[in-house]
């Protein structure tokens, strides 16, 4: 129990220190026209540098990351199958895979996997 509490305390301290350092380091500058405009050899830009991107592409990229991380989590679980309790391992794998399948079903039903609306 003491190890858990000390681990939580250390994690909280590290995160608080990082947040304080990021706050101190980050500079807020006044955003004026010259700073917000892209630099293009001293000339006015031909088109907007802040063009919008496809939200569907962003959703597909997030799905790729989710399933990529899923593979990274499933492979070590296969190695630990021999050394762990088989019932607990099966329950963990079932919950993990069912969560992913339910998420995929939800995205499919809300047409998040379609490139066009």
Residue 13's pLDDT band (cuts 50, 70, 90):
very high
pLDDT at residue 113 is higher than 70: yes
Instruction: Output the DSSP codes for 2-48.
Output: HHHHHHHHHHHHHHHHHHHHHHHH-------HHHHSPPSTTSPPSS-
What pLDDT score does 2 carry? 86
Between 78 and 109, the more confident residue is: 109
The first and second tokens of residue 21, run together, are 């350092």
What residue segments make up the domains of the chain, in order of their start?
56-111
Residues 101, 109: contact at Cβ < 8 Å?
Answer: no
pLDDT at residue 106 is higher than 80: yes
Q: What is the pLDDT of residues 82-103, one digit of tens each?
A: 888 889 888 988 998 898 889 8
What pLDDT score does 58 carry? 79
The first and second tokens of residue 98, run together, are 């069912």
């Amino acid at each position: 129990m003491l190890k858990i509490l000390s681990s939580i305390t250390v994690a909280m301290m590290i995160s608080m220190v990082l947040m304080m350092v990021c706050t101190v380091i980050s500079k807020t500058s006044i955003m004026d026209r010259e700073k917000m405009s892209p630099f293009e050899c001293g000339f006015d830009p031909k088109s907007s540098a802040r063009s919008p991107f496809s939200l569907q592409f962003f959703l597909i990229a997030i799905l790729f990351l989710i399933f990529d991380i899923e593979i990274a989590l499933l492979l070590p679980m296969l190695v630990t199958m021999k050394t762990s309790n088989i019932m607990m391992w099966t329950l963990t794998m079932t919950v993990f895979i069912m969560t992913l399948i339910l998420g995929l079903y939800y995205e499919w039903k809300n047409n998040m996997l379609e490139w066009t609306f």
